[in-house]
Every structure is written in structure tokens, then in C-alpha cells.
Amino acid sequence: MRIAVVPGDGIGKEVVAEGLKVLGKVEELFNVSFDFEEFPFGAEHYLKTGETLPDWAVEELGRFDAIYFGAIGDPRVKPGVLEHGILLRLRFSLDLYVNLRPVKLYHPRLTPLKGKERIDMVFVRENTEGLYAGSGGFLRKGTPNEVAVQEMINTRHGVERAIRFAFEYAVKTGRKKVTLVDKANVLTYAHDLWERVFAEVSREYADIETDHYYVDAMAMKMVRSPEVFEVVVTPNMFGDILTDLGAEIVGGLGLAASANVNPEGTGMFEPVHGSAPDIAGKGIANPLAAILTASLMLEHLGLGDAANAVEKAVEKVIAENRVTPDLGGNLSTSQVGDAVVEALEVVV
Ligand code: NAD
Ligand code: IPM
Ligand code: MN
């Protein structure tokens, strides 16, 4: 299996190295073989060459079985250049229309919420439209009469396939409820479409319960009673925001994994977190988000047993408190990677 590796910037490089260590152990234990090819795209490459992601690279990356991505973003580069030029470009050009983001509590001590033992929901974030479509522009830029417009794009096709994915995912994983999160009380055109399509599609899934929250109330409910959610489907921007909140209620960004997928094509797998310039280079970044992301990639590649084993190994190192400072431990990034490799041998 061919896997493209884009470590990117800051802690992206540090955590991807640990993910690769774990995948190396998976090769050994599960008798599979990965052919990794690394690509240099990110801030350094951009500052050196002026290039974010060349056209040939988009095509080439799309031909791999999967892309394992760290994070991009650098204080020396204007915000948006790398985010649009690399990350969003890949999500859009490869039509990775779902961003799947599990929010799962691996140990009760990790949640800042009182008395919560079980949190286990999965976000299906629409990943190619909404406020992220990049449609808009300036008028009279730089003058006192400047106008800046950023349009929210919602297509019937785009909304329907995200919602349909959420129901199919619920069926496939034995979950019983799909919750729609929108803001149709204010976005009376864009999110009216979401509500109509959701109602329509849900009729095809009689066994799946449905539920609905406006995004503001959802933020409240995720803190008050996160245990009630199973699958949550939501537009792009809300999915971005709510999954950082989701990460925090189960231990933080250092544990949050994500998969950009199109059921018919390749997938790009990246932790929810960014390049974290505040801790980059210190050897204290938590690699578990990247390692759990590798587990999502294994699942996508049809290696379910290996995926489960990696998740179990992560659970084991958390239970033993062999973790980085963000989770209350005192191990370094690479010591945690080693701990997961060791745990893998035990759980398999
Ligand atoms: P961030 O996710 O990089 O960091 C937010 C906070 O969480 C920081 O305090 C950081 O130290 C901490 N944190 C994040 N990951 C951690 C980990 N694995 N272990 C321990 N602590 C961790 O978000 P930001 O600071 O808003 O963004 C920094 C840059 O990353 C920006 O350029 C942004 O655009 C970019 N970004 C990229 C991605 C991506 O490539 N997928 C995602 C989010 C942000
Ligand atoms: C994420 C990030 C990206 C997003 C940025 C870096 C474009 O925040 O993956 O959550 O907003 O989708
Ligand atoms: Mn984000």
C-alpha cells in the first residue's frame, strides 16, 4: 500500500514521526507493507520556493492509497496562504467531502466535565463547501469604503452527500442516532436547505433516530450532556469550531484525530490540531492525536484489526499515564511514541 506523507510545519513534523514509528510496528505485527513517500510541502518549502502545492503534486497525491498529513501553518507566513494553498486545496481538489472527527473519552480523568464517564460521538463535518468555499472578494480595498464579502456556498448535492454519509456511517457502526447542527433560525436560506435535505434523507433510515440543535445550543449541550450524542452532521465552519470544543471535553487537541474522506477515492488523515508554534521544537507535543489518526487511516485501508490494535495501545498508555505534559504526564513526544509501540506488542 502506498502512503504519501506530508509532515508539514511545527509539531506536524514531530507527531508524524511518532505515527510512522507506530505504523512501522504495525507492518511487523500484521504482516503488511507500506510504501511511504514523503513530500516537503509546508512553510519552509514555501519560503524557499514560493510554491505552496504545485498542480502535479495534487494529481500525484491523489493517486496514493492514503495521505498522512501532520499540520501546516507558520507565524512567518500570512494566515491563509498555506491553509488555502495546501490543506484546503487538497480537501477540495480530491473532493474529500467528509471530515470525520471522533470525540471519544478514553479515560474519565481526561475530561474537565464533572461526573462524565462516557463520551463517544463522531462528527461528520461537510468538508468542501459552506464558508470555506473561498468565494468572495473585496471592493474598494484599502479605502474607508471597503467592502469584504465571503459567501457561504451550499449545494443540494454537497449537503445531501454529507447527510447521507452520516446516516450510512450510523448504520455501519451500529449507532442509533444522527443529530443535525445548523443555524436555520438565522441562515434562513442556506440552512433551510440543510433542514429539508436532512428530513428527506432521514425518511430512508427508519431505524435511526434523529435530533436537531442550533449551533449555539449545541455548544452548551456538548458541555452539559455530551453523552447524548452519537453521530453529528454539520456544515463546514460549525464542524471546525465544535470539534475543537469536542477535543477539549475528552482531553484536548493532543488526542483529537480526523479523517478527510471520499468513500470512492483516497483519504487524507490529519490530527485536528495545527502546527502549535507555541510548543514546536520542544519535544512535548502529544503524538496521540496523530497516532489515533493513523488508526483511522488503517481502518480506511481495510486493516480494521490493526486499526483497533493501535487504538487499544493508545488506551493502554493513557491508562498507565505514559503521556505528555498536556495530559498530566512527563514523557516527551518520542517517549510516548515508544510507549505506544511497546503497548502494541502487548495488545496484539
Ligand atoms: P493549534 O491547534 O496549532 O494549537 C492550539 C493550542 O493547542 C496551542 O496552545 C497548542 O500548543 C496546543 N496543542 C495543539 N496540538 C497539541 C498537541 N499535539 N500536543 C499538545 N498541545 C497541543 O492551533 P493554532 O495555534 O490556532 O494554529 C497554529 C497554526 O496551525 C495556524 O497557522 C493555523 O492556521 C494552523 N492550523 C493548521 C491545521 C492543520 O494543518 N490541520 C489545523 C489547525 C490550525
Ligand atoms: C482544521 C483547521 C483547518 C480548518 C484550517 C487550518 C484551514 O482548523 O483542520 O480544523 O479550518 O479546517
Ligand atoms: Mn480547526
How buried is 72 (Cβ within 10 angstroms: 0-12 exposed, 13-18 middle, 19+ buried)?
A: buried
Ligand 2 pocket, mutate which of 69, 83, 248 (most atoms under 8 A from CB): 83
Ligand 1 in reach of 285 Cβ (< 6 A): yes
**pLDDT (0 to 100) of residue 2:** 98
**pLDDT (0 to 100) of residue 129:** 98
Q: Which atom of ligand 2 is nearest to the CA of 71?
A: 6
2 strand-pairing partners: 35
Q: Which atom of ligand 2 is nearest to the CA of 83?
A: 7
Distance CA 24, CA 339 (A): 14
**pLDDT (0 to 100) of residue 212:** 98
Distance 315 CA to ligand 3 centre (A): 24
Looking at all shown ligands, the one closest to residue 273's CA atom is 1
Ligand 1 in reach of 42 Cβ (< 6 A): no
Ligand 1 in reach of 286 Cβ (< 6 A): yes
183 is catalytic: yes
Distance 205 CA to ligand 3 centre (A): 30
100 strand-pairing partners: 124, 259
Ligand 2 in reach of 272 Cβ (< 6 A): yes
Which triple of cell numbers denotes residue 286? 502529544
221 is catalytic: no
Distance 69 CA to ligand 1 centre (A): 14
Looking at all shown ligands, the one closest to residue 125's CA atom is 2
Distance 79 CA to ligand 1 centre (A): 13
**What residues contact residue 76 under an 8 Å CB cut-off, 6+ apart?**
43, 47
**pLDDT (0 to 100) of residue 82:** 98
**pLDDT (0 to 100) of residue 81:** 98
Other Cβ atoms less than 10 A from the Cβ of 212: the count is 16
**pLDDT (0 to 100) of residue 28:** 97
How many Cα neighbours within 13 Å face the side chain of 2?
A: 8
Mean pLDDT, the chain, rounded, equals 98
216 is catalytic: yes
Distance 71 CA to ligand 2 centre (A): 9
User: What average pLDDT values come out for the chain (348 residues) when binned by 10 residues?
Assistant: 98 98 98 98 98 97 98 98 97 98 98 97 98 97 98 98 98 98 98 98 98 98 98 98 98 98 95 98 98 98 98 98 98 98 97
Distance 273 CA to ligand 1 centre (A): 4
Contact between 8 and 72 (Cβ < 8 Å): yes
240 is catalytic: yes
Q: Which of 132, 182, 213, 316 is catalytic?
A: 132
192 is catalytic: no
What are 178-201's pLDDT values in tens digits? 999 999 999 999 999 999 999 999
Protein residue with its CA nearest to atom 5 in ligand 2: 83
Other Cβ atoms less than 10 A from the Cβ of 55: the count is 9
